[in-house]
Structures are given as C-alpha cells and as structure tokens.
Amino acid sequence: GHLSCGACMGTHVRASRDPYEATCPTLPMVPLTPDMSMIPKEYHVFISPSLRRVYLRDGEDTSRALIDGLNTEITLLKARVGTLRRDKDLLMDRCEASQSAVSRLTSDECNARLELVKAKEEVRIANESFESLKIMYRSLESM
C-alpha cells in the first residue's frame, strides 16, 4: 500500500464531485471507510477499513535514530550486494569454464567416434583380406 495523511485525503475527497465516489489519490480505486459512529460497537471488530491509520512519532531523537538505523541498513545491504556480485562473477567464471570444457569434450568425443568408425572399417577390410588369404592358402595347400 501507500500512505497519505488524513488532511490530504480529506482535501482530495472534498475536491471531488461526489465524496462517496472519490478515488484514491494514487490508485484508480474508491477507498471505502464506513462511519463507525453509525455502526453498533459490538460490530466494530468485524469491520476492517480500507484506510488505515499510521501513527508516526514526532521528535528529533526518533527521526535521528530512524535515519541512523536506515543508514546502517543501507550500508549492510550495499555490502551484501557487493558480496552477491562477487559470487555471481565467480559463478559466471565457473560456468564459462564448464561450458568450455564441455565444448572441448564434445569435440574430442566426435573425433573419437570418427576414429572408431575408421578403425572398424579397417578391421572389416583386414578380416576380408584375411579370409581371402585363408582361402588362397588352403587352395595352395591342397595342391
């Protein structure tokens, strides 16, 4: 959600043509808040108004403490962002190295498969030559 002060909301509602159909100053919706004085007290717990009250403390001490807390949180978040960026860079380096290794292994596998096909062809040719030599030897032996 978002915050608007009561005075600003009241001014916005009064400036609209129909106060019952005034839209939210930020969003195109009609915020509805029933008049709680017209509703019996026992039913108040069942009504959740779409406009909520936000109570902010006044004072320099609270503001200074809040600002200091936010600055501390900003510093911590910046450190975390730096750590996450370093982690991301390391992961990217590892990923690129792995991709390079996979590419190299894929190329080596392709070459090995080609060598296997050539070797099988050489074995087939050698077997054919052997069989023909065997036949020639038997024929010469029988003479």
Are 84 and 139 contained in the same domain? yes
Q: C-alpha distances in angstroms, 39 versus 6, 10, 61, 133?
A: 21, 21, 40, 112
Q: What's the Cα-to-Cα distance from 114 to each of 8, 55, 106, 123, rounded to whole Å?
A: 79, 77, 12, 14
Judgement on whether residues 80 and 107 belong to the same structural domain of the protein: yes
Do 70 and 115 lie in one domain? The reply is: yes
Please tell me the predicted confidence (pLDDT) of residue 14.
Answer: 79
CA distance 102 to 109: 10
- Residues 133, 113, single domain; the answer is yes
Task: Say whether both 64 and 23 belong to one domain.
Answer: no
Let me know: does 25 contact 12? Beta carbons within 8 Å: yes
The amino acid present at 72, given as its one-letter code, is T
* 111 shares a domain with 87: yes
Mean pLDDT by 10 residues, the chain (143 residues): 68 77 70 67 67 59 80 96 97 97 97 97 96 91 83
Q: Which residue has the tokens 């029933």?
A: 34
Query: Does one domain contain both 50 and 82?
Result: no
- With contact defined as beta carbons under 8 Å apart, do 24 and 30 qualify? yes
Whether 67 and 135 map to the same domain: the answer is yes
Domain check: are 101 and 133 in the same one?
yes
Q: 108 and 137: one domain?
A: yes
Q: Which domain holds residue 69?
A: 59-143
Number of domains in the chain: 2
